[in-house]
Structure 1
Amino acid sequence: MSDDRQPTGSAWDVLAGTRLPPGHRVEITAGKVTMTPRTAASAAIARAVAAQAGEQSAGRGTVLAQAVVDFPSARYGYAPDVALVAPGARPGAGGRYGWRDLEAVLEAVPRGQQDEDFVRKHRFYAECGIPLYVLVDPAEAVCTVYSAPQPAGTYQEAERVPFGNDLFLPLAGRTLVLRTDDFPVESPTPGAEPGGGRGIVDG
């Protein structure tokens, strides 16, 4: 990892005591705090995933919904839509779980919102070794499961799963199976090019 990603405290310390606005994605990238409104489809997908994962994880791991997570940096802080915490993990300072506790993160983000900061976050997840990163795009009606994180900031594997197909998430000692047939689809961002913004490019 680069020097600004070393464990020098939590990025969330700067927002201590601040009430984060509901309905917004709050993130800290390279020391910059951003707040992006969540679309209705993204919020509905996150709720559906959290509910399904919670049912299947009863007694085995913890399911976090839009909870801030500590990463190894004072300049990067993220709160995934859904985070799957390994069995036996316990929260640390401030009641937050750390990146080493995560087995998978899932985010529902339309392609038109996948800007440069979003791409940097994707690379950061890989650098931190998050085993599974699931990106759900309600505008293109497809889920992409990234696996095999590399220290260079890429995921070696990427599997696309269109809405309507079951989403298999292989975790330690178990596999979650998420139904996607009821995931809502939203119209692409007005004025966006076909396929939306930059998206995620590995390699």
Structure 2
Amino acid sequence: MTTKEVDGDVHSAWDVLDGVNLPDGYRVEITDGKIIMTPQSEDQSDVLIEAGPQIKKQLAGHGKVLSDVMIDFPSSLWGYAPDLAVVAPGAERNIRGRFEWHSLEAVLEVVSKSTRDIDFEKKYRMYAACAIPIYVIIDPSDNTCTIHSRPTRRGTYDEQETIPFGEDLVLPLEGREIVVKTDGFPRSEG
């Protein structure tokens, strides 16, 4: 991770997009300093519509769930807007009005063919290195959710559990547990 600091403020990868009007309907992220725009897939949309409200209801004001919202990571080369991010209770926005990586309790990403390498490799390493406690990869192509926990400084997670769609996705957050029903997630026939 490369960071730049000016007057005590770490620059965000998102700074390059300040003042830029981005097209609607596209997800924008920054990987290795490259701006990547991808349309949201129908499967991704279906999962977010199913999971987001379940998480929000269970948080009941003790934290916040965001979808496709810019998060400031400690790097000028990496800017991610997770499919779903669970923000810790009491977390505050920075001077840019955004939450930072250390405010996140969990990140859920829905894999598509175009984001597969990024979700399974680059985001996995970045989220672990930033000590995001839980990283869930939801994969409609094989009907599974893989929960990664116990991040290490090596940019890996020590624990991994895979659950099939139809079983409950349990997110053990700090002092509470969120249960996401996966029966309504889109399933691959293959």
Q: TM-score, normalised by structure 1?
A: 0.85
Match of 2:93 in 1: 91
Deviations 1:145-181 (A, max 9, x none): 0001111111111100100000000001100000000
Q: Does 1:122 align with 2:124?
A: yes
Say if 1:168 and 1:152 are closer, same or farther in 2 by CA, change over 3 A: same
The AA in structure 1 aligned to 2:11 is G
Question: What corresponds to 1:68 in structure 2?
Answer: 70
Quick check: 2:119–2:137 contact (8 Å CA) kept in 1?
Answer: no
Correspondence 1:34-45 to 2 at 5 A = 34-45=36-47
Task: Give me the whole-angstrom Cα distance separating, in 2, the residues matched to 1:37 and 1:138.
Answer: 16
Secondary structure at 2:96's aligned position in 1?
Answer: helix
Structure 2 gap ranges (5+): none
Q: Secondary structure at the match of 2:141?
A: coil
Letter in 2 for 1:175: E
Over the aligned positions, Cα root-mean-square deviation in angstroms equals 1.8
Secondary structure at 1:36's aligned position in 2? strand
Structure 1: 5+ residue runs without aligned partners? 189-203
Identity of aligned residues (%): 48
Query: Residue 105 of structure 1: which of 97, 101, 107 is its match?
Result: 107
Q: C-alpha deviations, 1:25-53, integer Å up to 9, x for none?
A: 21111211111222101111012211110
Q: Which amino acid in the other structure matches residue 65 of structure 1?
A: S
**1: CA distance, partners of 2:121 / 2:22:** 23
Secondary structure of the 2:66 match is strand
Shift of 1:93: 2.1
**1:104 corresponds to which letter in structure 2?**
A
Residue of structure 2 in register with 1:175 after alignment: 177
